[in-house]
């Protein structure tokens, strides 16, 4: 040391201290590794180091770069936890210039002053060559990357003037160095480089290519231009890479398998002229019939300097995507794919140079270049892209595939690297960025390899993986399972034929001409299925529900004749439904978990973004449902096992119910939305079980699936462990439990009930009651048996373990009074319910489930009990007027997050049609305010109405009312496409005599073809739309109290006698059908209304054989009406659709009938009273 300091006597103390530190560092870290052939002492080495440092720093001999501290590699990796850069050569201005290059959202690397030196080797330790460059000193080794390197550097002590250090939190290593400036050799050239063969013997590529055709055993030296470099591959423990030397049309593939030559991969680049000596010709097992040049241990690599700058400039290969007209690409090379509409295209190989602007998905190998071009490195092995590919880095790509619109989820232009492509960083990024740590093979890449995915499919898989991670991980899908789930979804969107079955052939991919690899062809913008989150779907529906609202289309043509109250009732509820496929221009898919909402008693689909209600039915048919289905109405067997399943929905209907409060004075004001005082909506999905794709089954389902496969064994415990795989949450029933097997006999509707929480405290809670029969006694288990196949001991009552836990007891009602009916159990929160899958036989033999009737049976059976259960198809839904002054005691809790939105006292009237015979229908009054809102009560839906009160009106019409115990379940979905649905079969043709007799089961609605005998009465009037008084000359006639309404509506009613030969009927026509009855066109009808306006009211009726009017019989209007009504224009053949006004069958009448000269007295059933619903224009 003293000897060394002798040279620096004149230096300051601080400089001397710095010199000592450098000397110590060299002695400890660098000197031990120096080759003895160099023959230097520590002192000489340190002096050599100092001279290189000073030269690099550009400082005169006078000054020393004392601000730079000597740091060993182990210190660097240990202490440096943030990315940094250091440069001996840069001035502060230069550094600032670097920093200015920063992309938006990125900062430049922090600057540190470190003196870094070490030996360059091709592995972290002696004999551990891995094909990459490493910097080593006595204490450690750090992986490094260079923009350009030379084989002459191997084993030399280097000074690194400018470099970045990027620490990585990977468990394997500390980080890596990006060597920006070429390293400076510290030691003098120890020896002349041994070429290992004379360069003059080097043969051209053309000759080598000929040589490859016939085998030759001699060692050859070949020089040529590198046209292809493969990435470094590691296959079954062997590391190797290939390159192709070209000259004109000739090409010679070279295989580098020698471990000690693999660092050459870093020393060559495409376009460079090189010479490799001592190669052998050999055949390749994996590439039958072809010979390649193989590098031997004696081979040497010579960069062929003299021709480097020659004609074939690598830059000439470069292409700019802007000049690459996409249109020509679209049209050319389009191979038609016969079976599907998926367009396939051939990609072209290009070279490209650009700046990495973003890491799109490090794990998937997806990057963005120049802000617009995508780069996919997934088809290359991982180590190729470990370092250097950071935002801000310049990258040079050779032989990459140019793809135009391979996927809607990637940039329009994607460059995809395969095994013949090389991606090299040409300038390291000066920016500090989050370091993406890549482990070994990512699951995505493994999936790519295992399934031989095309690039379009792979890009979709990456998209899918990203959205599942966002929306379902970690709550329902564990991180390590995300890719499995994404793979299953990919299977859902791809047909089997779209998959590439071709295994990848690495040698062919790397070496064969013309080039063939999985990226050669790709699908254009396919798969294009978009995965919407539940929130996205909800948002879309929320905006669609109101943007689709057209008030005038909600009301029928009869709206013109409706009073204010009638009109607003019409508008109070409407529905808009859209198929999922119609919601977006691209196919949509929804992925979520099905769960039951305990607070809303509905099925819901959810992900981490939001929750959406669902109506799920078992079959698509909207027809009759058999009783066996109804017996499992708890939820239906398949449905209970659906719970907690991860499902994918592609076919479903988005239903948007609108509930509005309006006060439109008349239909003329419908264009003024300010008359809408309140509006909210109900959004939900409707789908069939069969339309669901189960991506990840619930525990319950996997058990039942497994049970199908295997016979029952006693291995319950063993199975249990296996089934827990997919179960996300911790099951509290891992420990011992008791069970009770029961059969569900009936269940009631969900509603608010008084529940006792303690001895004298009661709260309103939502709940429902079910009656069950116990099939056996309480059983004790070590583990929850779940819905596994039932054991005989569970049903026959033997082996009873008296645990006295499940003792049925009477539930105390209000005021401590016990209900002394049947014993009852109150479900406790911690109880679990499982549907047993093998209970069919038991159920069928012992079933005494209450019969579910058809609509016509409810209508006509005289013996039916007052409480009925029946099924049918909804043909109409009407919101009933709120009864004034009666505030509902209970408010319906809504599913929307806005708690202020409640349907107060919502009562509806459903017209339920018999699902077999269209002529039978019943009105059902449902009070929706005492329970959770029931979605799915739409026109066309098949419903089961359980425990409804059957009543008969004064007019003998049968109708039903809901009771607190009533339950409505939707079991079939209506036709969705029509929106309003209701395209049921037309009502049957009816003979009036038959309809009058009441012998057969009367239809409520039927078609009649007959003759109008006479118009019995016709009433035309203008009514105040608010109060219903006569409206005369533009104002309401009501005086006490005065009504200032200025809105009148015209109404008409006609009562007509119709006969069809078999009998007679009285038919009522209301406003909109009267004009048709009178055969008036629009102009005439409006003229008539104008005439009536003067008096406000006119009525003509038949007395004897003529028509008359009580007032002003001479008035022209009256005369016209009388004349019109008795004319042949009106009294004509007519075809009508009618509804029975009253089902009353009164006493028969005795009537005189004349046939020629004879008179008969005959008994006639009373004429049926019908309401005309529609006049068919066909009067034939
Ligand atoms: Zn390729
Ligand atoms: Zn009025």
Whole-number Å distance, alpha carbon 505 to ligand 1 midpoint, is 11
Report pLDDT digits (tens) over 105-154. Answer: 888 889 999 999 999 998 888 888 888 899 999 988 998 989 888 888 88
Ligand with minimal distance to 455 CA: 1
Ligand with minimal distance to 1035 CA: 2
Residue 1038's CB is within 10 A of a number of other CB atoms, namely 17
Whole-number Å distance, alpha carbon 942 to ligand 1 midpoint, is 56
Mark the residues whose beta carbon lies below 5 A from ion ligand 1. 418, 517, 519
Q: Residue 496's pLDDT band (boundaries 50, 70, 90)?
A: low
Report the first-to-last Cα separation within the chain, whole angstroms.
125
Give the pLDDT confidence score for residue 722 in this predicted structure. Answer: 36
Whole-number Å distance, alpha carbon 1100 to ligand 2 midpoint, is 24
Report how far residue 427's alpha carbon sits from residue 502's, in angstroms, rounded to the nearest whole number.
37
Report pLDDT digits (tens) over 714-750. Answer: 333 333 333 333 333 344 445 677 777 877 777 777 7
Ligand with minimal distance to 420 CA: 1
Ligand with minimal distance to 416 CA: 1
Give the pLDDT confidence score for residue 698 in this predicted structure. Answer: 67
Whole-number Å distance, alpha carbon 561 to ligand 2 midpoint, is 15
Report how far residue 490's alpha carbon sits from residue 464's, in angstroms, rounded to the nearest whole number.
8
Whole-number Å distance, alpha carbon 290 to ligand 1 midpoint, is 19
Most confident among 77-81, 386-390, 617-621, 650-654 (mean pLDDT): 650-654
Q: Residue 415's pLDDT band (boundaries 50, 70, 90)?
A: very high
Ligand with minimal distance to 350 CA: 1
Q: Per mean pLDDT, which range of 25-29, 98-102, 265-269 is the poorest?
A: 98-102
Selection from 17, 163, 1 nearest residue 83 by Cα: 163
Whole-number Å distance, alpha carbon 510 to ligand 1 midpoint, is 8
More confident residue, 189 or 418: 418
Report how far residue 659's alpha carbon sits from residue 928's, in angstroms, rounded to the nearest whole number.
13
Cis ω before 293 (30° cut-off from 0): no
Give the pLDDT confidence score for residue 200 in this predicted structure. Answer: 61
Ligand with minimal distance to 515 CA: 1
117-127: buried (b, 16+ CB within 10 Å) or exposed (e) per residue? bbbbbbbbeee
pLDDT reading at 386 higher than 90:
no
Whole-number Å distance, alpha carbon 478 to ligand 1 midpoint, is 34
pLDDT reading at 457 higher than 50:
yes
Give the pLDDT confidence score for residue 456 in this predicted structure. Answer: 93
Ligand with minimal distance to 400 CA: 1
Give the pLDDT confidence score for residue 437 in this predicted structure. Answer: 60
pLDDT reading at 600 higher than 50:
yes
Give the pLDDT confidence score for residue 743 in this predicted structure. Answer: 76
More confident residue, 450 or 929: 450
Whole-number Å distance, alpha carbon 1070 to ligand 2 midpoint, is 21
Whole-number Å distance, alpha carbon 667 to ligand 2 midpoint, is 16
Give the pLDDT confidence score for residue 172 in this predicted structure. Answer: 54
Whole-number Å distance, alpha carbon 178 to ligand 2 midpoint, is 88
Whole-number Å distance, alpha carbon 416 to ligand 1 midpoint, is 8
Q: Residue 421's pLDDT band (boundaries 50, 70, 90)?
A: very high
Using a CB cutoff of 8 Å and minimum separation of 24, what contacts does 39-47 make? 40/187, 42/4, 43/3, 43/4, 45/157, 45/186, 45/187, 46/4, 46/22, 47/4, 47/7
More confident residue, 679 or 625: 679
- Name the DSSP class of 162: E
Whole-number Å distance, alpha carbon 503 to ligand 1 midpoint, is 14
Tokens 């809607």 locate to 408
Whole-number Å distance, alpha carbon 1048 to ligand 2 midpoint, is 8
Average pLDDT over residues 664-671: 89
The residues facing 228 across adjacent strands are 244
**Mean pLDDT, the chain, integer:** 80
Report pLDDT digits (tens) over 885-913. Answer: 444 444 444 333 344 345 667 889 999 99
Whole-number Å distance, alpha carbon 331 to ligand 1 midpoint, is 21
Residue 913: partners with Cβ closer than 8 Å, 6 or more residues away: 855, 872, 873, 874, 875, 920, 921, 984
pLDDT reading at 597 higher than 60:
yes
Whole-number Å distance, alpha carbon 1022 to ligand 2 midpoint, is 11
Tokens 């019109």 locate to 1124
- E-strand stretches of 580-718: 588-596, 603-606, 611-617, 646-649, 653-662, 676-688, 692-696
Whole-number Å distance, alpha carbon 1045 to ligand 2 midpoint, is 5
pLDDT reading at 1162 higher than 90:
no
Whole-number Å distance, alpha carbon 1103 to ligand 1 midpoint, is 96
More confident residue, 857 or 341: 857
Give the pLDDT confidence score for residue 883 in this predicted structure. Answer: 57
More confident residue, 1142 or 250: 250
Cis ω before 527 (30° cut-off from 0): yes
Report pLDDT digits (tens) over 849-889. Answer: 557 888 988 888 776 668 898 999 999 999 887 655 444 44
Report pLDDT digits (tens) over 275-317. Answer: 998 899 988 877 878 889 999 988 888 876 544 343 334 443 4
Ligand with minimal distance to 1037 CA: 2
Mutual angle of helices 42-57 and 13-25, in 10-degree steps: 120
Whole-number Å distance, alpha carbon 88 to ligand 1 midpoint, is 42
pLDDT reading at 682 higher than 80:
yes
Report pLDDT digits (tens) over 40-76. Answer: 889 989 989 998 888 888 765 567 888 899 999 999 9
Whole-number Å distance, alpha carbon 1036 to ligand 2 midpoint, is 5
More confident residue, 789 or 492: 492
Ligand with minimal distance to 509 CA: 1
Percent of the chain residues past pLDDT 70, beyond the cut = 78
Whole-number Å distance, alpha carbon 674 to ligand 2 midpoint, is 22
Average pLDDT over residues 402-406: 95
Give the pLDDT confidence score for residue 732 in this predicted structure. Answer: 43
pLDDT reading at 767 higher than 70:
yes
Whole-number Å distance, alpha carbon 1031 to ligand 2 midpoint, is 7
Three-class SS of residue 800?
coil
Report pLDDT digits (tens) over 970-1012. Answer: 888 876 544 344 455 788 898 888 888 765 567 888 999 999 9
Average pLDDT over residues 1118-1125: 91
Taking the model in full, what pTM does it have?
0.85
Whole-number Å distance, alpha carbon 1023 to ligand 2 midpoint, is 8
Whole-number Å distance, alpha carbon 406 to ligand 1 midpoint, is 15
Ligand with minimal distance to 564 CA: 2
- Name the DSSP class of 480: G
Whole-number Å distance, alpha carbon 423 to ligand 1 midpoint, is 13
Ligand with minimal distance to 1044 CA: 2
Whole-number Å distance, alpha carbon 1089 to ligand 1 midpoint, is 80
Whole-number Å distance, alpha carbon 664 to ligand 2 midpoint, is 14
Report how far residue 486's alpha carbon sits from residue 499's, in angstroms, rounded to the nearest whole number.
16
Q: Residue 199's pLDDT band (boundaries 50, 70, 90)?
A: low
Q: Per mean pLDDT, which range of 386-395, 763-772, 881-890 is the poorest?
A: 881-890
Average pLDDT over residues 775-787: 75
- How big is the chain, counted in residues? 1180
Report pLDDT digits (tens) over 652-662. Answer: 999 999 999 89
Whole-number Å distance, alpha carbon 1040 to ligand 2 midpoint, is 10
- 640 close to 698: Cβ distance less than 8 angstroms: no
Whole-number Å distance, alpha carbon 551 to ligand 2 midpoint, is 24
Tokens 């009726």 locate to 1101
Whole-number Å distance, alpha carbon 1117 to ligand 2 midpoint, is 25
Ligand with minimal distance to 511 CA: 1
Whole-number Å distance, alpha carbon 500 to ligand 1 midpoint, is 15
Ligand with minimal distance to 1042 CA: 2
Whole-number Å distance, alpha carbon 620 to ligand 1 midpoint, is 47
More confident residue, 233 or 624: 233
Give the pLDDT confidence score for residue 885 in this predicted structure. Answer: 47
Report pLDDT digits (tens) over 800-846. Answer: 555 444 555 545 544 555 544 556 677 776 777 776 665 555 555 44
Whole-number Å distance, alpha carbon 509 to ligand 1 midpoint, is 6
Ligand with minimal distance to 231 CA: 1
């Amino acid at each position: 040391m003293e000897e060394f300091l002798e040279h620096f006597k004149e230096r300051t103390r601080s400089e001397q201290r710095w010199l000592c530190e450098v000397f110590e560092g060299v002695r400890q870290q660098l000197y031990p590794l120096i080759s003895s052939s160099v023959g230097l002492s520590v002192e000489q080495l340190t002096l050599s180091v100092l001279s290189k440092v000073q030269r690099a720093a550009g400082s005169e001999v006078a000054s020393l770069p004392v601000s730079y501290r000597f740091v060993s590699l182990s210190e660097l990796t240990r202490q440096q936890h943030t990315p940094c850069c250091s440069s001996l050569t840069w001035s502060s201005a230069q550094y600032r210039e670097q920093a200015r290059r920063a992309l938006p959202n990125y900062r430049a690397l922090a600057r540190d002053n470190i003196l870094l030196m070490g030996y360059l080797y091709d592995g972290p330790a002696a004999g551990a060559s891995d094909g990459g460059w490493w910097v080593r000193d006595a204490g450690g080794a750090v992986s490094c990357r260079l923009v350009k390197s030379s084989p002459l550097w191997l084993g030399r002590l280097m000074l690194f003037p400018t470099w970045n250090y990027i620490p990585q939190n990977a468990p394997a290593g500390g980080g890596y160095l990006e060597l920006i400036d070429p390293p400076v050799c510290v030691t003098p050239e120890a020896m002349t480089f041994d070429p290992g063969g004379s360069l003059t013997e080097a043969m051209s590529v053309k000759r080598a290519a000929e040589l490859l055709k016939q085998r030759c055993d001699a060692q050859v030296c070949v020089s040529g231009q590198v046209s292809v470099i493969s990435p470094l591959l590691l296959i079954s423990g062997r590391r190797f890479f290939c390159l192709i030397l070209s000259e004109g049309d000739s090409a010679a593939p070279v295989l580098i398998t020698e471990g000690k030559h693999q660092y050459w991969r870093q020393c060559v680049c495409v376009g460079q002229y090189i010479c490799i000596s001592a190669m052998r010709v050999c055949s390749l097992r994996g590439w039958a019939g072809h010979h390649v040049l193989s590098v031997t241990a004696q081979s040497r690599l010579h960069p062929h300097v003299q021709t480097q700058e020659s004609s074939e400039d690598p830059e000439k290969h470069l292409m700019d995507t802007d000049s690459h007209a996409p249109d020509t690409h679209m049209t050319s090379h389009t191979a038609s794919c016969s079976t599907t509409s998926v367009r396939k295209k051939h990609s072209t190989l290009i070279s490209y140079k650009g700046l990495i602007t973003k890491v799109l998905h490090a794990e998937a190998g997806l990057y963005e270049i120049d802000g617009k071009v995508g780069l996919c490195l997934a088809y290359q092995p991982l180590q190729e892209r470990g370092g250097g590919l950071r935002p801000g880095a310049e990258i040079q790509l050779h032989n990459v595939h140019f793809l135009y619109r391979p996927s809607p989820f990637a940039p329009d232009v994607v460059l995809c690297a395969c095994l013949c492509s090389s991606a090299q960083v040409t300038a390291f990024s000066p920016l500090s960025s989050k370091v993406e740590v890549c482990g070994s093979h990512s699951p995505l890449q493994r999936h790519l390899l295992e399934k031989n995915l095309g690039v379009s499919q792979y890009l979709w898989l990456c998209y899918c993986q990203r959205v599942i991670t966002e929306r379902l991980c970690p709550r329902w899908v564990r991180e390590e399972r995300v890719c499995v789930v994404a793979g299953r979804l990919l299977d859902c969107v791809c047909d089997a034929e779209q998959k590439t079955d071709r295994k990848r052939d690495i040698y062919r991919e790397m070496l064969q001409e013309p080039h063939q690899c999985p990226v050669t062809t790709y699908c254009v913008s396919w798969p294009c299925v978009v995965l919407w989150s539940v929130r996205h779907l909800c948002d879309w529906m929320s905006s669609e529900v109101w943007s689709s609202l057209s008030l005038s289309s909600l009301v029928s043509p009869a709206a013109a004749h409706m009073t204010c109250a009638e009109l607003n009732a019409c508008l109070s509820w409407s529905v808009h439904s859209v198929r999922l496929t119609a919601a977006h221009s691209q196919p949509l898919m929804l992925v979520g978990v099905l769960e039951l909402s305990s607070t809303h008693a509905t099925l819901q689909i959810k992900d981490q973004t939001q929750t959406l209600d669902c109506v799920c039915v078992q079959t698509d048919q909207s027809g009759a449902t058999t009783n066996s289905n109804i017996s499992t109405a708890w939820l239906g067997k398949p449905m209970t096992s659906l719970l907690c399943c991860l499902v994918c929905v592609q076919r479903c209907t988005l239903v948007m119910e609108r509930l509005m409060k309006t006060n439109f004075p008349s239909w003329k004001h419908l264009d003024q939305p300010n008359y809408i005082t309140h509006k909210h909506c109900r959004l939900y999905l409707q789908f069939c079980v069969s339309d669901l794709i189960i991506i990840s089954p619930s525990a319950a389902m996997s058990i039942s699936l497994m049970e199908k496969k295997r016979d029952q064994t006693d291995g319950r415990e063993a199975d249990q462990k296996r089934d827990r795989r997919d179960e996300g949450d911790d099951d509290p029933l891992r420990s011992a439990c008791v069970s009770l097997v029961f059969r569900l006999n009936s269940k009631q509707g969900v509603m608010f009930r008084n529940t006792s929480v303690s001895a004298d405290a009661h709260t309103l809670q939502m709940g429902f009651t079910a009656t069950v029969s116990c099939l056996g006694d309480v059983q004790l288990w070590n583990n929850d048996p779940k819905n596994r196949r039932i054991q005989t001991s569970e049903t026959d009552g033997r082996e009873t373990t008296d645990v006295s836990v499940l003792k049925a007891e009477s539930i105390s009602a209000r005021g401590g009074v016990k209900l002394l009916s049947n014993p009852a159990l109150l479900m406790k929160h911690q109880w679990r319910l499982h549907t047993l899958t093998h209970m069919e036989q038991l159920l069928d033999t012992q079933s005494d489930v209450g019969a579910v009737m058809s609509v016509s049976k409810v209508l006509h059976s005289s013996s039916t009990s007052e409480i009925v259960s029946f099924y049918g198809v909804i043909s109409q839904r009407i919101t009933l007027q709120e009864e004034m002054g009666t505030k509902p005691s209970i408010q319906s809790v809504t599913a929307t997050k806005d708690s202020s939105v409640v349907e107060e006292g919502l009562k509806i009237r459903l017209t339920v049609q018999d699902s077999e015979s269209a002529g039978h229908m019943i009105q059902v009054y449902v009070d929706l305010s005492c329970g959770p809102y029931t979605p799915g009560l739409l026109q066309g839906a098949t419903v089961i109405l359980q425990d409804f009160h059957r009543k008969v009106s004064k007019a003998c019409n049968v109708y039903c009312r809901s009771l607190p115990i009533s339950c409505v379940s939707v079991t079939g979905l209506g036709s969705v496409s029509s929106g309003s649905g209701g395209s049921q079969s037309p009502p049957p043709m009816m003979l009036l005599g038959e309809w009058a007799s009441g012998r057969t089961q009367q239809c409520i609605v039927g078609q009649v073809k007959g003759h109008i005998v006479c118009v019995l009465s016709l009433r035309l009037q203008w009514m105040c739309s608010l109060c219903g008084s006569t409206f005369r000359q533009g104002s309401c006639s009501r005086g006490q109290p005065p009504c200032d309404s200025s809105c009148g509506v015209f109404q008409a009613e006609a009562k007509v006698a119709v006969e069809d030969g078999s009998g007679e009927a009285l038919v009522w026509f209301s406003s909109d059908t009267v004009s048709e009855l009178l055969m008036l066109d629009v102009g005439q009808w409006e003229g008539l209304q104008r005439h009536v306006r003067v008096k406000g009211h006119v009525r003509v009726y038949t007395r004897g054989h003529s028509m008359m009017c009580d007032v002003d019989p001479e008035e022209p209007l009256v005369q016209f009406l009388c004349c019109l009504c008795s004319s042949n224009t009106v009294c004509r053949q007519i075809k009508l659709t009618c509804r029975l006004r009253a089902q009353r069958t009164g006493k028969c009448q005795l009537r005189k009938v004349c046939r020629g000269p004879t008179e008969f007295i005959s008994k006639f059933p009373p004429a049926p009273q019908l309401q005309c619903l529609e006049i068919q224009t066909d009067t034939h």
